[in-house]
Amino acid sequence: MTQGAPGTPRTQSLSTPKAAGLAGVVFAVLLATAMVLARISLPEGGGGDQVGLAPGRRGELSTAMELVPFAGIAFLWFMGALREHTGDAEDRFIATAFLGSGLVFVACLFGAVAAAGTALDADDPTGFGRHFAYTLLTTYGMRMAAVFVLATSSLGRKLGVLPRPLVVIGTLAGLVLLVVGSSLPWSELVFPAWALLISLHILGAARRTP
């Protein structure tokens, strides 16, 4: 097999971590912003006794819904760049969990946003759509996020690309999202916070690479 031009593998090995880091930062900021705006707009999570929007918060929810698609795109880029960086050295079992959980998370995220659109619809007085969106994101989406965090931490440990403190933090974050994600308000912010931490580490490591 003919090898590429000298320097090509090295350039790819440097550019891929930077792409992953930048995409991860964009994803973390956009998703965290959307989650905060959604929480402010629907303080009861779209269910329970208070099914309507908080007074004067229609604009915040609309903005959150517009941010989520871009967050999902950035997450797919982040996930793809990470997977490309691991290359042939990845563990296939863990990589399958990594890829599958990431894709299902994005599907849950987009589905939740579509359902949350009913919060802007006066024809949904029961709040069913809002409650469905909240359940889809916190019960199912966050558990897929937990699997993604745990798989990424495991891959990072096996390949030696993540320091032990980040592996421990990732394991704890994954367990929090998996066990209490649907019952503890604001716990969903653990996921973008972890993504931001990983992304900053990747960018720092890429900068230190000669």
- The token pair at 16 is 């891929």
* Domain boundaries along the sequence of the chain: 10-208
Q: Angle at Cα 99 formed by Cα 94 and Cα 101, nearest 5°?
A: 90
pTM metric for this prediction: 0.81
Q: Look at residue 164 in the predicted model and tell me its pLDDT.
A: 92
CA–CA dist 53, 39 (Å, integer): 10
- Per-residue tens of pLDDT for the chain, all 210 residues: 334 444 444 444 435 667 778 889 999 999 999 988 888 877 655 444 444 555 556 778 788 889 999 999 999 988 887 776 665 556 778 888 999 999 999 999 999 888 877 766 655 555 677 778 888 888 899 999 999 999 999 988 888 878 899 999 999 999 999 998 777 778 889 999 999 999 888 888 777 765
Exposure string for 14-43, b = 16+ CB within 10 A, e = fewer: eebbbbbbbbbbbbbbbbbbbbebbbebbe
Q: Which residues contact 111 (CB under 8 A, 6 or more apart)?
A: 133, 136
What per-residue confidence (pLDDT) applies to 18? 77
Specify whether the CB–CB gap between 39 and 116 falls below 8 A: no
Residue 44: the pLDDT is 57
DSSP label of 118: G
